[in-house]
Amino acid sequence: MTSAAATADSMRDYYARRAATYERVYFKPERQADLRTMEAWLGAPFAGREVLEIACGTGWWTPHGAREAASWLATDLNPETMELARTKPLPASVRFAEVDAYTLDGLGVQRFSGAFAGCWWSHVPRAQLAPWLELLHARLDGGARVVLLDNSFVPASSTPLSRRDADGNTYQQRALDDGSVHEVLKNFPTRGEAIAMLGPRARDVEWIDHAHYWILSYELS
Ligand SMILES: C[S@@+](CC[C@H](N)C(=O)[O-])C[C@H]1O[C@@H](n2cnc3c(N)ncnc32)[C@H](O)[C@@H]1O
């Protein structure tokens, strides 16, 4: 197995085991102001669009993003996290599908006019970001709106980094309630690094810094 495949497998397993306790991270007091601002912001970019959500997890962002969308397909590789997402107060336009973000197999020939991924970018190995974005963009029509959001590193709030590998990926040691400890790849790109990855179809690029999160929003030509 390649190290990229091993990283992808361990990430899937870690989030399956963490599903029931995952949303604790959304109750950190210092993140509440950012979260309310971002939740309120997230509906408008997708108004009237047919949206693909990558790695929806427990669906924290799904009701907010899908608020004004024409349709919203929330996908994740783990049924454990999607079971929780299904219990959210969701617009009738939301559907779910088990889809691997690295292949997008299972989507058939579907194309979309919007795409969203929350806290996914940070888990993609740096060498796989450009191919992953290309794979995603290939599913999107011209004029599609893409919103990617993720954590910023805030020393007083974030799990410390435990190491950096030769490709520049950073890692954290995370403990679960069952006592297991997992090494999780978690990158914190700068604005410049992230925008440089987007490829030639990205236009109207906007980077929004919040105290604990960043948002990258753009349109595809
Ligand atoms: C950090 S969580 C983000 C969840 C949610 N988007 C959020 O922002 O709260 C990462 C998610 O990626 C999912 N995941 C892991 N590997 C995946 C893969 N190869 N394809 C799709 N989803 C995957 C996990 O099940 C988990 O729900």
Domain boundaries, the chain: 3-155+189-220
Q: Is 77 in the pocket of ligand 1 (CB under 6 A)?
A: yes
Q: Is 38 in the pocket of ligand 1 (CB under 6 A)?
A: no
Query: pLDDT tens-digit profile of 25-60?
Result: 999 999 999 999 999 999 999 999 999 999 999 999
Residue 56 CA to ligand 1 centre (angstroms): 6
Least-confidence region, from 3-12, 43-52, 82-91, 133-142? 3-12
The residue whose CA has the least distance to atom 27 of ligand 1 is 57
pLDDT at 164: 98
pLDDT at 1: 64
pTM: 0.97
Q: Are 205 and 198 in contact (CB under 8 A)?
A: yes
Among residues 98, 103, 64, which one has the least CA distance to residue 82?
98
* % of the chain residues with pLDDT over 70: 100
Query: pLDDT tens-digit profile of 56-76?
Result: 999 999 999 999 999 999 999
pLDDT band at 124 (very low <50, low <70, confident <90, very high): very high
Residue 124 CA to ligand 1 centre (angstroms): 10
Q: Is 57 in the pocket of ligand 1 (CB under 6 A)?
A: yes
* Sheet hosting strand 112-118, strand order edge to edge: 94-98, 71-76, 50-54, 112-118, 140-151, 213-220, 202-209
Per-residue pLDDT at 4 exceeds 90: no
Q: Is 12 in the pocket of ligand 1 (CB under 6 A)?
A: yes
Pocket test for ligand 1, best of 10, 15, 27 (most atoms within 8 A of CB): 15
Atom of ligand 1 nearest to the CA of 80: 25
pLDDT band at 6 (very low <50, low <70, confident <90, very high): confident
Per-residue pLDDT at 201 exceeds 90: yes
pLDDT at 154: 98
Query: pLDDT tens-digit profile of 136-164?
Result: 999 999 999 999 999 999 999 999 999 99
Among residues 143, 66, 141, which one has the least CA distance to residue 111?
141
pLDDT at 8: 86
Residues 6+ apart with CB under 8 A from 36: none
Per-residue pLDDT at 220 exceeds 90: yes
Q: Does domain 3-155+189-220 have CATH number 3.40.50.150?
A: yes
Pocket test for ligand 1, best of 21, 81, 184 (most atoms within 8 A of CB): 81
Residue 54 CA to ligand 1 centre (angstroms): 7
pLDDT at 2: 76
Mean pLDDT value of segment 109-132: 98
Amino acid, single-letter form, for residue 213 = Y
Per-residue pLDDT at 168 exceeds 80: yes
